[in-house]
Structure 1
Amino acid sequence: MLPLFGDENRRKINLGGSSSVSTLSAITDQAKARRIERTEQKRKNDSAIRIQAWWRAVSAIRAAKADMRRTFESDIEGLTGLRCIVLIGMDQEVLGKWSQTIIAKGEGSLFSPALGPHRQSWLVLIRQIYLLLLRSIAASPKSPNAVAHLKIMNMLVSTDVVTRNIGAQGRDVATDILVYVLKRGFYPLLSEAIRSITAHDRGEIVDIAASFTNDAYAESLAALVSKILTIPLLPNRLPLPSLTQLSSHLPLASFALLAFSLDNITITDKIHLVANLMAFTPPRYAVLPAAALTSYLNLLTCLFDSLPPEAFEESSKRSASAAAAASADADSDDESRPVVSVVSSFTAASPPAALPTLDARTLKRLATLVTPTHLTSLLTVTQKHPDATRRALFCMFLALEGIWPGKTSTILGAIVVGGGGTSVIKELWRGSVRRANATSILREFQRERFVPRTSLTRRSPPLLFLADLYAHALLTMGDDEFFGTSAQVGGSPSTPRNPMSLDELTVFSRLLLDVAFGLYQGPVDSDGDTNMTGTTGPKGVRYTWEELKEAVHAPQITGWCPLRSTSDLSWKRHCKTYRSFMTLALTAIPIVRFEEQQISSGNARAVTTRQIARLAPRLGILHNIPFSIPFSTRVQVFRSFIYSDAMARRQLDDTYGHRLNIIVRRENIAQDGFDRLRDADLKGRIGITFIDKFGEEECRELTGGGVFKEFFTSLCKEVFDTDRGLWLANKKNELYPNPHTYAVESHNLNWYRFIGRIIGKAMYEGILVDIAFAGFFLAKWLGKQSFLDDLASLDPELYNGLIFLKHYAGNPEDLSLNFAVAVEDFGVTKTIDLIPNGSNVAVTKENRLQYIYLVSHYRLSKQIKQQSEAFFEGLSEIIDHKWLKMFNQQELQILIGGTDSPVDLEDLQGNTQYGGIFDANHATIISFWRVVHSFDQEQRRALLRFVTSCSRPPLLGFKELVPNFAIRDAGSDELRLPTSSTCLPRYQSEKVLRAKLLQAITSNAGFDLS
């Protein structure tokens, strides 16, 4: 009998009574295989059951949807039809049929279910249908039903339409729909739809976005800005009517709510947001209320502050930012950036995030930000608004400089020329800055995070912008205009004057100095950065501490107080910073010297000014705000640096016997000095041996003695002779390098380098040289730029012509000027373009300040660039550039040639050495000093020149004179004149001594000094 079921699953039992090991293993494997087989069979059965269940469900859903479609078609406009749409979900056919029916029958059919007792049910359903319509558009933007969907969506959110159909509660209904869709990703879907649908249909969907942007829909503002206004080239995607609609409905007054909502917007989106705002907003400036314009400006400020510098530049121009940061302490000679400003050198503390490549149309729209027309329109429109709007504008200007440093000159120039720069400077000073105090400003600078713009807006940004704007104005401000000493400049009786009086400049200088000093003493984090403007952008992107320090002291080192009024330093007496540092000045010298040694030792690479300020704060003060410290103290610091360097050098000389002995022919001092010292180590000891005209060797003496001083004096007299062709002199007999092409030949550049080494040796040894350098040339030693007022000393006629052009009341184009200069060289005149194709660019009212700057820059800097660099290369081999940064041009001249102060005979007498039988009590010496005390100042200076070859005394007194003043016994022959390093005969008569001494010092011959 066959079994009813198969016995394949019946357990097999072995009754044999014995088995081998191999048989047992086989049985185990078979059992395992059967277990796996059973498991797999169960899985298949379960899967089959699930598939069957799913299919039954699908079939049921399909059947239900078919029933719902039939029900929907029987009541398309009614509440039942709406329920069916929601239950069916994303069905393009159903949604399309409903939309087409509603559009065909009119808006009344859409709102009719809401007129009865089921309004709330209609509202619940219609909100969900609204989202289904939007998702349908985003999923199928080219669907033929998209237009109908958009029209219905517009009806549902239009307050006028809803109110017209359901009564007074229409506004609340529209608001309810808005709140619902906003919480369910409405604006991301809307953004996706705008990017996808055709240009014609975008108008409808933008109308939807615009209808949400009124006071009742404040929650939509952030989403509207972040999702819609960040769409690239949004204005180009919209038809003109929709563009006007969106622009007119932007709630600019509510933009104040967005200042803290920018963290989640990418850099790319922020750039496109700015570009789109520049298309929507400027045409409405004239009609915007004060609150809306203020909020708009604050939003721009926050956006600019949160973006990396150069974000608006073309990709090809961004690569120079790293090099610019590395050379931030150098004086740029690039005429394409004609104005150096406070913010133009600001760069990110760390490399910024990768910036997007921008479309040419986006770049063009961004460029309107810095056009003179746009900037001037803002200045004009805001004049009638409250002070808060003007402060917001100045903050925006400052932030714009930071985000676009390459356009700083354009921004400031537009304000100075076309925006009433004089009145703006006055307004900033008198309305925002004058009442500020350093303590409150420093407190704002040191905030870690941004707080609501209250005192920050009133104090810090206006101060920085005023500093920047005034520094820019000074570039083309002559001394007559600065001091207001001329009633008529350039032929115009109403010439603009310095917008700030000298008294105001004194107060401003005091404020900037206090702030700068406080910043150098202020705390910094591990990176040395602070987010000064308090934006929510990346930390350290806007300003670093070092950049803030530059900002507040830049105007003072740009050309005004105290540089332009060194004779009037009364402001220092009132400056608490100055008084506090005075008490520490002398005791700080060892600390400063230690800091300098720490910076210099073991560091092969160059250290920038910013790094010095961070690593050595006292040294940073000396380099950046040196005028806060007495000049005499800085000279002592300078001499202490040299002393430390010299001591280290002398130890090396003593250890290895380093000593340079050279032979010089008296009739060929300059050439022999050049040949033997051009590459020598001038910091070491130098032995000089003169060869007279007969070829005989004279006595030898090392550095510091009379022989070396005679050699040095004679050498300087020859190399600085203007007849040699290397130097020219202005009307004040101040020297500057010859600008002609002859001077830039390689051999002559080597001479400039050699002369720089010689001057460096003089400063290193403390030897005074009776040579005056032009101020604009001395500025090159310090890495500073020269300005229009410096041109007066070089070319008075050109200076007067540029001043006339600056204040010319007519049309500058009538003067037929262009951006080129004519240069005559050895009788040949050639034209040099100041900018690319400058010969074809006319000078206009808008660009004349740029022309004035470029002409001045060419004459004062570019023409002598190679000569100055060669000279400074030689100078810096002896004198560390960091040491010179403690001084300004006038102070450098004093270091080189001494002070113009009267000769202090008491000091000279107290620091005189005597030789032979002479001492302080010898009768001849007593008579000598009695005679010298009877001299007037001119005779005393003649004596000083006779002895030292320089008529000016050393700044720190005669104890610093090298070599020291000495009087030696020259015997009893009273017919002799005083000679040989003040070798004085033993005159018996005081009258004879006076006559012989006056004859010697007025005979235009120096001592032999051997």
Structure 2
Amino acid sequence: MEIPLFGDGPGTRKRQINLGGTTTATTHASILQDAKNRRQQRQEEKRRQESATKIQSCWRSTQEARRVREQLRQRFVEDITSLDALRCLVLLGQDGDALLRWSLATLQLGSDRLFQVSMNPSWAILLYRLSLNLLVYISRESLSPNAEAHVQVLAILLTLPPPVQQQQHVSRFRQSIFRYLIPRGYYHHLASSISNFPSSSSSPSPTLRTMVDFLTAPFASLTNTDTTFKNALEHLLCYPLSIPLLPNRLLSSNALAPLSSHLPLIHLSDVNTDSLLGHLPSLEARIHLLANLCTFLPVSRISSLASQSNATVNAYVRLLTAIFNSLPPNALDAKRDDSSNAALAVVDDDSSDSDSDYSVHVMVVDSFQPKVKLPTLDPRTLSRVQTLRSPSYINAILASMQRYQAGHRSLYSWGLALCRVWPNQTGEILGVFVVHGGGGLVRELYRGYVRASSIGNDRGMGTLSDPSQEPAWPPFLFLVELYTQALLTMGDDEFFSVNATGGPRNPLSLDELITFSKKLMNVAFTLYWREGQTDSHGPGPAGMSTVKWEVVREKVTKCLQAIHSRDSRKPFTPSDHWLVTSQLEMAPFVEAAIVEERQLSQPTTARTLSKRQLASIAPRIGILNNIPFAVPFAVRVSIFRSFIVNNMTNSGRQFMERHSGSKIIIRRDQISQDGFDKLQNVDLKAPISITFIDRFGQEEAGIDGGGVFKEFLTSLCKEVFDSNRGLWLATKNNELYPNPHSYAIESHSLDWYRFIGRILGKAIYEGILVDVAFAGFFLAKWLKKQSFLDDLASLDPELYQGLIFLKNYTGNPEDLSLNFTVASEEFGVTISKALVLGGNDIPVTKENRLQYIYLVSNYRLNKQIKLQSDAFFEGLSEMIDPKWLRMFNQQELQILLGGVNSPIDLDDLRAHAKYGGLYDDQEPTIQMFWKVLKSFDQDQLRKLLRFVTSCSRPPLLGFKELVPNFAIRDAGSDQNRLPTASTCVNLLKLPRYTSERTLRQKLLQAINSNAGFDLS
């Protein structure tokens, strides 16, 4: 076989030669790349030369410093105890070997020698600086054996009694040395030294015992008029007394009692609390200071301290108040969850868990409010701090301050601070004040401070915000808290027996209550009606930066409601005392709202409502939810129902009711699937007739007069909102939100969300209550609002904590290796999603981290469930106009869905109850039934309501709105039979019991077991 020559065979490629002298590989791009490479080489060479120069310079300077230090050491060792050696030692600074040699040599010469040389000014100045060097060394090496010699030298200089002939000189020397050391971190270094000793050691340490003497040494040399004395006391509180578990560290060395007895707490009135807190930036340090203070100032010492100076106890109370107010709520609660770090205090919280608050959220990307993570505290620290709220401690302070009139304002601020920092123990704390002061404290607050103040005298916000009112706010708010607490344990007899002689009585007369409640009403109405003129997220009343206006509003409302409840049972106020209808002009407001809705429902009509007019609805919401006795409660809800009635009229509902509506056949075991299949294209605003098919394929008897459809709707909602079906997930509070997984955005799943929205809209449209709760961030979508970082905690606490850490991270965020992507897990697979185009290649930096936090929050709370929420809201909007929903906030929407979470009004229920069979309102069994219900508590009544109607909450406008009405029908005379219910028609089937005891027993058995549902 002939082998072709290289390059000449078939399939070979001839070499192309460029006769121009350059190869074809030399392109424009390669030329640029070559130039770039040469430029990088030059830059690299330059960088290497500069680095070499720096290294050489650093090496030379290091060598020179080493040479100089070596010379100083040589001069030092020539005569260790000489003045020249002392100069060298000071210049050497933290040279451990040299310091140790000097301390040992000095101790061998004795204390007299050191006292003697300190008379020389040259020696004295050097001893100042040397003492500071020794303190710095000890702060790092206090547990080292070498530290003992240094501590002994410092003891000679600072605490050891000098010879009699040298006392005057040594006294002046020590004053000078303390004036030098204290501004240069004297107590800071001592605190670092003491902190090195373990908190659970059983072996005593002489070094520690001596260092504890250093803590109080300045106060033995300086006078209390000396500025350094005051600074020393402040620094003592800031540093040593904020050491964690300080008493435990001192206990083994028998240093606790000497320190406690020598602490100059009698001079606490000289401490500037603002400056003190400025030196204690961390929450943990402030809490440890509280724990140590209550150890060194036990109950027994408070009274003795008061006998020496009432002003000192007043100063102590002011100090406690300042520290309390600097802590977030629940910081001192022993029940908080430290293990999971879930105990978070919101410095500025826009959200509200109360249905009575209506908040408008404004999102600014670069203004996330910081969250405060509470420190993990040792149980011993928490146990000590709890002493500050104990009845014995509160009583000791109250008794000490009882005769000190000038300190009463501090006392009231302290009481408010206690309630703020221990919100879960507010009742217990206020109870101590109530018991200790009786009615006298309430009377003193009202007659001595509140009655004469102008707070609440008019409805102007200017009076509430007036800086001149600063002294009046603490007594006013404390009276509100205290009287609210007093009313909890005050019966009506006591409340109205203000003139009784002997026994308990109302501390305020009825006339005083009328005036006081009017003040409360004016404050509450102003804060609700003119909320736009107050910054509810900024500072509150003058001088009370830790109390927001919304907190003031909540406290005032609570007290106002408690007084009104007494007046509603036995009126003592004028007939128009509570009404503010003249301010609200209710009739024009209701009429205007209905007329505007009619205009807006017509597409050809121009929208005449301005943004200001629309925004004016918000204050009314607050009033109606929080002080409903000021106006008829039904106003806003009746407007909503009027909108629906208008819509029914416009859609021809009345015509459709006279003719046959849609007839739908539903299988009992396939309610959700049949409903989905057969109601997709049906006009749900029209009447719907439901026929059930049982499991045997037989049509159930009966005509749907509304009850069967209600049963279908209730059963359907139970199925479609079941989180096990995959469309919904539940938060820790069992509140539902759409599943964010990818299968939830498939077309079939979106059709289900759209269908569920239509069904829920039908329930709202028909006034049928549904027992389902939604997450707040999902309800916000109904109102066309987005959710951001503050809502993320309820959805993903770990991610929320991570974003908070990133926002407050003091290092370089690039060290965290984050980029503009977000990871999510589906079916065990982690998927990375770019937040912006090219997000994989964009690192998170200090400059763009707020944007990253915003995008991550927006993705998790909004984007991930956007398609699901849009589909759901699309279906809901077919039934309920979005404008109608925007009259309510998230909490009110939940009430609209499931009814009002208010006590069940038995009189209202009875007034609208219907009877069937042998029953009527006067029948003996019915009389016993209502008598038994009066003995039920609210929990039992809710169980009964759920048993009969499938929903435990009453309708918004009372039981007249329950569709169909609550009904009772006889179920025979068998005394052993349990009551049953047909929830589809809200019917209770009650046997004709002859005994009240039997009726109560059987009824409770039925509602507690939820047994006895009857389809007949």
Calculate the TM-score normalised by the size of structure 2. Answer: 0.55
Q: Distance in 2 between matches of 1:758 and 1:47?
A: 80
Q: Distance in 1 between matches of 2:284 and 2:596?
A: 44
CA contact (8 A) 1:395 1:461 kept: yes
TM-aligned CA deviation for residue 391 of structure 1: 2.1
Q: Distance in 2 between matches of 1:246 and 1:373?
A: 20
Residue type of the partner of 2:558? A
Q: Distance in 1 between matches of 2:389 and 2:954?
A: 43
For 2:960, which of 762, 771, 775 is the aligned residue? 762
TM-aligned CA deviation for residue 140 of structure 1: 2.0
TM-aligned CA deviation for residue 474 of structure 1: 1.2
Q: Does 1:266 align with 2:282?
A: yes
For 1:402, which of 420, 425, 433 is the aligned residue? 420
Q: Distance in 1 between matches of 2:344 and 2:551?
A: 15
Match of 1:647 in 2: 646
Q: 1:191 to 1:592 in 2, by over 3 A?
A: farther
Q: Distance in 1 between matches of 2:56 and 2:689?
A: 108
CA deviations on 1:831-850 (whole Å, 9 max, x unpaired) are xxxxxxxxxxxxxxxxxxxx
TM-aligned CA deviation for residue 234 of structure 1: 1.3
TM-aligned CA deviation for residue 716 of structure 1: 13
TM-aligned CA deviation for residue 305 of structure 1: 1.7
TM-aligned CA deviation for residue 153 of structure 1: 2.9
Match of 1:366 in 2: 385
Q: Does 1:622 align with 2:624?
A: yes
Q: Does 1:309 align with 2:309?
A: no
Q: 1:518 to 1:49 in 2, by over 3 A?
A: closer
Q: Distance in 1 between matches of 2:596 and 2:553?
A: 19
TM-aligned CA deviation for residue 554 of structure 1: 1.1
Q: Distance in 1 between matches of 2:638 and 2:522?
A: 27
Match of 1:567 in 2: 571
CA contact (8 A) 2:291 2:384 kept: yes
Query: Secondary structure, in 3 states, of the residue corresponding to 1:353?
Result: strand
Q: 1:683 to 1:56 in 2, by over 3 A?
A: closer
CA deviations on 1:358-383 (whole Å, 9 max, x unpaired) are 11101111211222212222222211
Q: 1:461 to 1:590 in 2, by over 3 A?
A: farther
CA deviations on 1:136-185 (whole Å, 9 max, x unpaired) are 21232233343343344344445x95796655565554343223223333
| Root mean square deviation, CA, Å | 5.6
Query: Secondary structure, in 3 states, of the residue corresponding to 2:272?
Result: helix
TM-aligned CA deviation for residue 557 of structure 1: 0.6
Match of 1:250 in 2: 265
For 2:446, which of 409, 426, 429 is the aligned residue? 429
User: Greater relative contact order: 1 or 2 (C-alpha under 8 angstroms, separation 6 or more)?
Assistant: 1
Q: 1:302 to 1:593 in 2, by over 3 A?
A: farther
CA contact (8 A) 2:318 2:414 kept: yes
Q: Does 1:237 align with 2:249?
A: yes
CA deviations on 1:960-993 (whole Å, 9 max, x unpaired) are xxxxxxxxxxxxxxxxxxxxxxxxxxxxxxxxxx
TM-aligned CA deviation for residue 53 of structure 1: 8.7
Match of 1:549 in 2: 553
Percent of aligned pairs sharing the same letter: 27
CA contact (8 A) 1:310 1:404 kept: yes
Q: Distance in 1 between matches of 2:46 and 2:428?
A: 84
TM-aligned CA deviation for residue 446 of structure 1: 4.1
For 1:501, which of 497, 509, 512 is the aligned residue? 509
Q: 1:293 to 1:219 in 2, by over 3 A?
A: same
Q: Distance in 1 between matches of 2:49 and 2:527?
A: 81
Q: 1:320 to 1:359 in 2, by over 3 A?
A: closer
Q: 1:403 to 1:825 in 2, by over 3 A?
A: farther
Residue type of the partner of 1:72? I
Residue type of the partner of 2:244? P
For 1:420, which of 434, 437, 447 is the aligned residue? 437
Q: Distance in 2 between matches of 1:43 and 1:676?
A: 84
Q: Distance in 1 between matches of 2:490 and 2:558?
A: 16
Q: Distance in 2 between matches of 1:443 and 1:406?
A: 33
Q: How many residue pairs were aligned?
A: 662
Query: Secondary structure, in 3 states, of the residue corresponding to 2:539?
Result: coil
TM-aligned CA deviation for residue 303 of structure 1: 1.7
Q: Distance in 1 between matches of 2:141 and 2:166?
A: 32
Q: Distance in 2 between matches of 1:474 and 1:38?
A: 82
CA contact (8 A) 2:688 2:709 kept: no
Query: Secondary structure, in 3 states, of the residue corresponding to 2:79?
Result: helix
5+ residue gaps, structure 1: 1-19, 22-32, 332-348, 488-492, 599-611, 664-668, 687-708, 770-823, 831-862, 871-1010
Q: Does 1:135 align with 2:136?
A: yes
Q: Distance in 1 between matches of 2:442 and 2:345?
A: 32
Residue type of the partner of 2:437? G
Q: Distance in 1 between matches of 2:287 and 2:598?
A: 46
CA contact (8 A) 2:690 2:704 kept: no
CA deviations on 1:483-538 (whole Å, 9 max, x unpaired) are 00895xxxxx83211111111111111111122222234566998413337789xx
Q: Distance in 1 between matches of 2:65 and 2:45?
A: 30
Q: Distance in 1 between matches of 2:1001 and 2:912?
A: 41
Match of 2:604 in 1: none
Q: How does 1:24-35 map to 2 (within 5 A)?
A: none
Q: 1:146 to 1:547 in 2, by over 3 A?
A: same
Pair member with larger Rg = 1
For 1:749, which of 916, 926, 947 is the aligned residue? 947
CA deviations on 1:305-359 (whole Å, 9 max, x unpaired) are 221211122442874879999773369xxxxxxxxxxxxxxxxx96732211111
Q: Distance in 2 between matches of 1:124 and 1:467?
A: 60
Q: Distance in 1 between matches of 2:112 and 2:598?
A: 88
TM-aligned CA deviation for residue 252 of structure 1: 5.1
Moved more, 320-329 or 585-594: 320-329
TM-aligned CA deviation for residue 720 of structure 1: 7.0
Q: How does 1:174-213 map to 2 (within 5 A)?
A: 174-197=174-197, 200=205, 201-212=207-218
Q: 1:740 to 1:304 in 2, by over 3 A?
A: closer
Match of 1:963 in 2: none
Q: How does 1:487-526 map to 2 (within 5 A)?
A: 494-522=502-530
Q: Distance in 1 between matches of 2:118 and 2:213?
A: 24
For 1:382, which of 401, 413, 428 is the aligned residue? 401
Q: 1:212 to 1:49 in 2, by over 3 A?
A: closer
5+ residue gaps, structure 2: 1-20, 23-40, 199-203, 357-367, 600-613, 658-685, 692-701, 714-761, 768-909, 968-995, 1012-1016
Calculate the TM-score normalised by the size of structure 1. Answer: 0.55
Q: 1:826 to 1:744 in 2, by over 3 A?
A: farther
For 2:76, which of 56, 63, 68 is the aligned residue? 68
Q: Distance in 2 between matches of 1:559 and 1:82?
A: 77
Q: Distance in 2 between matches of 1:40 and 1:744?
A: 81
TM-aligned CA deviation for residue 114 of structure 1: 3.6
CA contact (8 A) 1:71 1:84 kept: no
For 1:357, which of 370, 373, 376 is the aligned residue? 376
Match of 2:537 in 1: 529
Q: Distance in 1 between matches of 2:289 and 2:597?
A: 48
Q: 1:267 to 1:476 in 2, by over 3 A?
A: same
CA contact (8 A) 1:235 1:243 kept: no
TM-aligned CA deviation for residue 294 of structure 1: 1.7
CA contact (8 A) 2:531 2:619 kept: no
Q: How does 1:406-805 map to 2 (within 5 A)?
A: 406-417=424-435, 419-438=436-455, 446=465, 456=470, 458-484=471-497, 494-522=502-530, 528-532=536-540, 542-560=546-564, 563-564=567-568, 567-570=571-574, 581-582=582-583, 584-589=585-590, 616-629=618-631, 639-652=638-651, 653-654=653-654, 658-659=686-687, 728-729=929-930, 736=934, 738=936, 749-751=947-949, 753=951, 756=954, 760=958, 762=960
CA contact (8 A) 2:138 2:147 kept: yes
